[in-house]
Structure 1
Amino acid sequence: MTGTIAELKVDLEDFALEHTLTTVTDLSCEVERLVASDPETLMPFLWVEAPPSALDELEDVFATDETTDQVECITELYGERLYRMHWIRRIELLVQILVEEEGTILSASGSADGWHLRLLFPTRDALSRTDDYCRSHDLKYEILSIYNIDEGRKGRFGLTDAQQDTIVAAFEQGYYEIPREIDSEELATEFDISHQALSERLRRGHKALVKNTVMIGPRASDDDRDEQPPTSRQ
Structure 2
Amino acid sequence: MSTVATLRVPASTFVLDDALARHPSIEARLLRSVQVDSASTTPSVWVRGNDATLVEPALRSDPSVSAHSKVVSSKQGGVYRIGFEALSDPILRLFADTRLTVVDSYAQGSEWVFRVLAEKRDSLRALTETWEQNGLTHTVERISDCTEAADPSRFGLTEAQHRTLVTAFREGYYEVPRDSDITGVANMLGISHQATSQRLRRGHERLVQNALVQRLTPEFPF
TM-score category by the smaller chain?
0.5 to 0.7
Report matched runs for 1:142-153 at 5 Å. Answer: 142-145=138-141, 147-149=143-145, 153=148
Structure 1 match to 2:79: 83
Which of 59, 62, 66 aligns to 1:62? It is 59
Deviation at 1:45, TM superposition (A): 3.8
Structure 2 match to 1:117: 114
Deviation at 1:14, TM superposition (A): 1.6
Separation of aligned partners in 1, 2:79 and 2:44: 8
Deviation at 1:38, TM superposition (A): 4.4
- 1:63-118 CA-partner distances (Å, limit 9, x unpaired): 23342522444323xxx544233342354556422332332334433233222323
- Could you say which structure has the larger radius of gyration? 2
Name the aligned partner's letter for residue 104 of structure 1. T
- 1:108-154 CA-partner distances (Å, limit 9, x unpaired): 33233222323221112212332354356x4622233453417x626
The answer to whether the aligner puts 1:108 opposite 2:110 as a matched pair is: no
- 1:166-188 CA-partner distances (Å, limit 9, x unpaired): 488469959799899x8665655
Change (3 A) 1:148 1:43: same
State the identity as a percent: 11
Deviation at 1:44, TM superposition (A): 3.7
More strand per residue: 1 or 2? Answer: 1
Q: Which runs of 5+ in 1 are unaligned?
A: 217-234
Could you say what the CA RMSD is over the residues aligned between the two structures, in angstroms? 4.1
The answer to whether the aligner puts 1:206 opposite 2:207 as a matched pair is: yes
Report matched runs for 1:211-222 at 5 Å. Answer: 211-213=213-215
TM-score by length of 2: 0.66
Separation of aligned partners in 2, 1:71 and 1:142: 31
Deviation at 1:210, TM superposition (A): 0.7
Q: Secondary structure at the match of 1:159?
A: coil
Change (3 A) 1:174 1:130: same
Separation of aligned partners in 2, 1:123 and 1:32: 24
Structure 2 match to 1:3: 2
Q: Which sits farther off after the overlay, 57-66 or 125-134?
A: 125-134
2:161·2:200 contact (CA, 8 Å) conserved in 1?
A: no
Deviation at 1:21, TM superposition (A): 0.9
Q: Which runs of 5+ in 2 are unaligned?
A: none
